[in-house]
Amino acid sequence: MEEADSTGSSHSAPKRLALLHSQNEKAAEAAFRLADCNDFVSLEDAEAVIALGGDGFMLDTLHSMLDLETVKPVFGLNLGTVGFLMNRHIQSCDLVERVAKARRFTVSPLRMEAITQSGERERSCAINEVSLLRETRQTAKIEISVNGRVRISQLAGDGVLLSTPVGSTAYNLSANGPILPLDSRMLALTPISPFRPRRWPGAVLPDSSRVTFRVHEPTKRPVAVVADQKEVRDVAEVHVEIARDKEMTLLFDPGHALDERIVAEQFLT
């Protein structure tokens, strides 16, 4: 049996599944029950991964995929709070059949390189967003360049973020950024509580863009950068672009796919 991805291409349906779960009690209990009626294999031998938990655990799971030689598709079951990146958890043992029917969505993370005030370089990937945030009561002042051209010479405010379509309904949306369709091939550049330029709403950029942030007065106005959960403090400069070599695949039940939820999110009141 074959499954189709978001572009209509076909793939052989995974049969060897690995099981990962968060540490919350509901997820642990569900994992115990599923292990009773499914023959799970190790992560290294699996063709796909079942992730039990919430959106935070899904992000942890996807980040763990980045360290593997072969990135595995991930089918999430929601046992957390929001579960935007997850499928509904149903008490059943038909996981192989359910995964075989799933739609595939390929997502590319952001690659972040941060240079600290001391000259150290830190690299990380972000599936949702890379955000720069002031560390103290002092307003952050940040220069923003796109593909080597300065677009904002000085953004004054709490910070700024660059979001993927997957992350556009998360922190980006809370900061009044735009919701991006999953297949838009765009990135959202969104200010966080901007003071100057006062009316700058942010920008939507092609995902081929390389964005550079430079911190003005970094000693007086220290800034941290966060790539999903990884934080680097006291940065002087940050470079962000799509990591084309780190594509990951999310699996969704038909009718419960991520692209539809991103569209539906725009009509919530």
Binding site, annotated residues? 55-56, 128-129, 158, 166, 169-174
Q: Are 229 and 199 in contact (CB under 8 A)?
A: no
HEC letters along the chain: CEEEECCCCEEECCCCEEEEECCCHHHHHHHHHHHHHCCCCCCCCCCEEEEEECHHHHHHHHHHHCCCCCCCCEEEEECCCCCCCCECCCCCCCHHHHHHCCEEEEECCEEEEEEECCCCEEEEEECCEEEEEECCCCCEEEEEEECCEEEEEEEEEEEEEEECCHHHHCHHHHCCCCCCCCCCCEEEEEEEEEEECCCCCCEEEECCCCEEEEECCCCCCCEEEEECCEEECCEEEEEEEECHHHCEEEEECCCCCHHHHHHHHCCCC
Of 174, 187, 202, give the one whose Cα is nearest residue 82.
174
Q: Which two tokens stand for residue 228?
A: 């999903």
For residue 199, which amino acid is it?
Answer: R
Catalytic residue among 39, 45, 55, 245: 55
Annotated binding-site residue numbers for NAD(+): 55-56, 128-129, 158, 166, 169-174
Is-catalytic flag, 94? no
Q: Any idea which residues carry the catalytic annotation?
A: 55
